[in-house]
Amino acid sequence: MTTAAPPRRPSSPQASLGTARPQGMDIVSSALPTTTMETPDVPTPATPPPGRVLAIDDDGRLLQNFAMALARDGHKVETADTLADGLRLAATWPFDVCLLDHDIGSDAGIDALPRLAELAPRMRVIMVTANAQIEQAVRALALGAADYLVKPCSPDQLRIAVARQIEARRLRDRVDTLEREVSRGTPELSSRNPAMQAAIDMALQVAATDANLLILGESGTGKGVVARAVHRASPRASAEFATVNCPALTAELLESELFGHAKGSFTGAVQNAVGRVSHADGGTLFMDEVGDFPLALQPKLLRFIQDKEYERVGDPATRKADVRIVAATNRDLDAMVVEGTFRLDLLYRLNVISITLPPLRERQEDLEDLANGFIRRYAADYGRPARRLSAAALSKLRTYAWPGNVRELQNMMERAVILGRDEEIAADLLTLDATRRAEAMPGALMSLEALERMHIERVLAQSDSLDAAAKTLGIDASTLYRKRKLYGF
């Protein structure tokens, strides 16, 4: 809990913020502990990270003073002089901290704590009061307030209290992100394939910078996984990773999804909405399938990338957001530029650095690790006995061209784990689309083993007997028998 020091006659708003301390205040305030109760181990950062602050108070002058003091640390402050306005703002903007007055006109700020927690569960509320009572402080903390500030307080006290809560919020977000990643089993990003490993290395090297990154590759090769890894490895990791799925939306909805909209700006816009760029402020915006980004909207995206400025749909106010863009596509953007469906200047901005992820059929070295990783994950999820692929199952996977890449392998392993009854996944649990055999793919690269398997299968299919097949293959029947067992047919 942070309490204001007894005032030494405030001479200006900078010396002390808020109304004069009521009589008897010193006794109450000295009875209050002077450390933050809820987050005693949150340090006050030397340079407070800038955040978004909502101040709700019916005293307009005090709100101005709060905004001025907090602007010095780069915070973005929105103010509301009624509780209703404050609740509306809390519902539309992602605030880090709320300074909530105890008495806002005829409304009691403390009674709004549950509603604020509902509207903005991650926002940290500092109760501000001119009338500190220990019981009130305890009640506010019990209702979810993170701290308690007594007015008048000095600008420094306010700034420290806010900085501590922003730091606490960042730490909470970071813990949540890590927990989500652990529970989802975030993929280990490494590869036995030199081209894939080179792409990963370059992506992680770029992560430390703010350079925009373009990830190219077929669908399902892991572009989203790499984009997340770049965010996690970047100095922006504690802020949000927001995704915009470009093909999923019409141009109008995409603009609103990206930049937000004002209430009433189009049919269905029943309230203000913040866009992904605002959510990703300080973090990373992942633009999936950017090749499908509508031409008409491209100038707005270009301006945002260049100037970091944007407007919400139906609201002329210019806003800023500090966002690092990672874009991905499986389309040929150069060809689209020639066709006139993608702007060259936008392409230049997006692919400051670009990497290409090879398709799974060209990184057969990773099949076994990836498949066994999925088997372990799904076996744990579903409580099944499967632990690994059998040798025959692995050989079978190697004959396949994987048009759906890692996503297809993942789905196939999920099914096999659910159906499997043993620790090893048998080859017959894997149903491959015969037309998608690697041999059917012109120019497909594959291992010698996969080639051998396919060749033996083909010869067997065209022979009347095992002996005849062995003869055609130039091996004896017992060798053919062993190979059939190995390959699972």
Nearest distance in Å: CB 286, ligand ATP? 9
Per DSSP, the residues of 59-118 read -HHHHHHHHHHHHTTT-EEEEESSHHHHHHHHHHS--SEEEEESEETTEEGGGGHHHHHH
How many CA atoms lie less than 13 Å away from 13 in the CB half-sphere?
Answer: 11
Q: Of 372, 364, 366, 448, which is closest to residue 412 (Cα–Cα)?
A: 372
397 burial level (CB within 10 Å; 0-12, 13-18, 19+):
buried
465 burial level (CB within 10 Å; 0-12, 13-18, 19+):
exposed
Element (H, E) at 300: helix 298-307
Nearest distance in Å: CB 225, ligand ATP? 4
Question: Are the C-beta atoms of residues 223 and 357 closer than 8 Å to each other?
Answer: yes
Q: Given candidates 225, 233, 274, 297, which one binds ligand ATP under the rule CB under 6 A?
A: 225
Helix, strand, or coil here: 198?
Answer: helix
* Residue 9 CB coordination number (10 Å): 7
Q: Which is nearer to ligand ATP, 407 or 484 (CB)?
A: 407
Q: Pick the piece of the chain touching ligand ATP (CB under 6 A) from 68-76, 129-137, 218-226, 310-318.
A: 218-226
Question: Are the C-beta atoms of residues 228 and 236 closer than 8 Å to each other?
Answer: no
Map the footprint of ligand ATP across residues 70-129, applying CB under 6 A: none
Map the footprint of ligand ATP across residues 387-416, applying CB under 6 A: 406-407, 410
Residue with token string 């101005």: 64
Question: Which token pair is 210?
Answer: 């703010």
Q: Pick the piece of the chain touching ligand ATP (CB under 6 A) from 213-221, 274-282, 382-390, 475-483.
A: 213-221
Q: Given candidates 151, 164, 169, 223, which one binds ligand ATP under the rule CB under 6 A?
A: 223
Cis peptide leading into 152, omega within 30 of 0?
Answer: yes
Nearest distance in Å: CB 57, ligand ATP? 46
Question: Which token pair is 272?
Answer: 């203000």
Nearest distance in Å: CB 396, ligand ATP? 20
376 is a contact residue toward ligand ATP (CB under 6 A):
no
Nearest distance in Å: CB 181, ligand ATP? 11
Angle at 82 between CA 81 and CA 83, to 5 degrees: 130
Question: Which token pair is 248?
Answer: 């999923």
Q: Given candidates 224, 294, 314, 403, which one binds ligand ATP under the rule CB under 6 A?
A: 224
Nearest distance in Å: CB 452, ligand ATP? 27
Q: Which is nearer to ligand ATP, 54 or 189 (CB)?
A: 189
Map the footprint of ligand ATP across residues 274-333, applying CB under 6 A: 288, 328, 330
Map the footprint of ligand ATP across residues 355-374, applying CB under 6 A: 370, 373
* Residue 231 CB coordination number (10 Å): 23
- CA distances to 332, 358, 424 from 196, rounded to whole Å, are 19, 6, 28
Q: Pick the piece of the chain touching ligand ATP (CB under 6 A) from 105-113, 216-224, 314-322, 394-402.
A: 216-224
Q: Which is nearer to ligand ATP, 219 or 472 (CB)?
A: 219
* Phi, psi values for residue 240, rounded to 5°: -80, 150
221 is a contact residue toward ligand ATP (CB under 6 A):
yes
Nearest distance in Å: CB 374, ligand ATP? 7
Nearest distance in Å: CB 223, ligand ATP? 3
Residues with Cβ < 8 Å from 109, sequence gap 6 or more? 56, 83, 100, 101, 102, 103, 127, 128
Q: Of 58, 129, 116, which is closest to residue 87 (Cα–Cα)?
A: 116
Question: Are the C-beta atoms of residues 313 and 272 closer than 8 Å to each other?
Answer: no
Map the footprint of ligand ATP across residues 182-211, applying CB under 6 A: 187, 189
Nearest distance in Å: CB 183, ligand ATP? 14
Q: Which is nearer to ligand ATP, 224 or 403 (CB)?
A: 224
Nearest distance in Å: CB 341, ligand ATP? 18
Q: Given candidates 109, 152, 155, 220, which one binds ligand ATP under the rule CB under 6 A?
A: 220
Q: Which is nearer to ligand ATP, 188 or 422 (CB)?
A: 188
x/- letters, 417..436, toward ligand ATP (CB under 6 A): --------------------
* Residue 176 CB coordination number (10 Å): 11
Q: Which is nearer to ligand ATP, 3 or 243 (CB)?
A: 243
Nearest distance in Å: CB 358, ligand ATP? 11
Q: Site residues (CB under 6 A) for ligand ATP?
A: 187, 189, 217, 219-225, 288, 328, 330, 370, 373, 406-407, 410
